[in-house]
Structure 1
Amino acid sequence: MRTFKNLLALLIVFSSVQVMAQTDKETTARLVADKHLVFDATAAIPMANADLNKVLSKMPGTAGAGVIQLNGSQYQLIINKDSIEAYLPYYGRAYTSTMNPDESGIKFKSKKFGYKTTARKKGGWIIDITPKDTKDVRSMSLSISSAGYATLSVNSTNRQPITFNGVISEPKKVESKTTEE
């Protein structure tokens, strides 16, 4: 079943991503090996359910079947050797809610995390990330093609899973999305 979901996600990547991949094969391999990359989300694919589908059918920017285009947004997952920072939206069913709107979405910084890279047989990589110092995110799986296209699956403790399509790129000089006070 997981293989089918990954295949479906990759098909959606190639049919819905309007941005060209910004990396070539060698650059992609270097970014993965260095553990220093940025995943830029271009589409969100929440887990389907009847209630969510009713809402999504009325939203602008949805491409049917629950795909929400994130073009022009700055939703990212930033991976460094010593830290991971996520700034991603969330669409789907939450089993517990927060009263603070600043805590909505998938937003965290992690310095303690498990990180495992596996090369795929037909090219590309799968990076499994397990944050150990976040409240809600249990695991993340980033599937990267050699051309720089990627699919990120996020599993949470208190929410349904969600998948994002996008591209990877080299980090810019300023990587932090939130300001620390």
Structure 2
Amino acid sequence: MKYFKLVLSIALFAFTMQLSAQTNKATTIRIIEEKEYTFVANSAIPMSNMDVSQILSRMPGSQGGGVINLTGSQYDFKITKDSVVAYLPYYGRSFSAPMNPNEGGIKFTSKDFSYNEKKNKKGNYTIQINTKDLNRENFRLTLSVTPNGYATLIASGYNKQPITFNGYLSESKRKDQ
């Protein structure tokens, strides 16, 4: 029964994602090549284990199968040529907690990072970003993007279990607008 719910929730998610695409193929290619885009998170899928699954099933927005609906939230991940800015929630097991509760989640600005981009034959992109800041937890972020702008972000840190976000790419708002 759990497998059926998971398959049904993934199918429903895929159907709704097709209705909410924010970019076309030309725009997706342009913003990735310019390294000026924002990943907007629609759902979060934490790494599954029994403790986390029991808690998540009781949370508002839970769609079953460990998928948490983030539609309508302001969670995003912005990439520019000189910085990456993350404002994402975190659901899962963390092996160390911040002293300030407002510092939870995956929230950082990094100007010291590596950026590696690959494009396959079908036009899908895989972008690997590794933050290298010395004064905080560093993250390995893998962004998989389809030509239509649908994207999956996998965030893994040294002190946290990996978490997956599904969403889409959009053009970053420019400061001069």
TM-score in same-fold range (> 0.5): yes
Cα distance in 1, alignment partners of residues 82 and 104 from structure 2: 25
Corresponding residue of 1:24:
24
SS of corresponding position for 2:123: coil
| Alignment check: 8 A CA contact 1:13 1:149 kept | no
Corresponding residue of 2:111:
111
Residue type of the alignment partner of 1:143: S
Corresponding residue of 1:167:
168
Structure 1 residues 43-62: aligned runs within 5 Å: 43-62=43-62
TM-score, normalisation: structure 1: 0.86
Cα distance in 1, alignment partners of residues 45 and 36 from structure 2: 25
Residue type of the alignment partner of 2:52: L
Aligned residues: 165
Cα distance in 1, alignment partners of residues 23 and 94 from structure 2: 35
Deviates more, 1:17-26 or 1:91-100: 17-26
Work out whether 1:93 is the aligned partner of 2:105: no
How far is the alpha carbon of 1:21 from its aligned partner? 1.1
TM-score, normalisation: structure 2: 0.87
Larger Rg: 2
Cα distance in 2, alignment partners of residues 120 and 40 from structure 1: 23
SS of corresponding position for 1:139: strand
Superposed CA RMSD in Å reads 1.8
Runs of 5+ unmatched residues, structure 2: 1-9
Runs of 5+ unmatched residues, structure 1: 1-9, 175-181
| Alignment check: 8 A CA contact 1:13 1:166 kept | no
Cα distance in 1, alignment partners of residues 117 and 18 from structure 2: 27
Distance 1:67 1:16, change over 3 A: farther
Cα distance in 2, alignment partners of residues 119 and 149 from structure 1: 15
Give % identity. 48
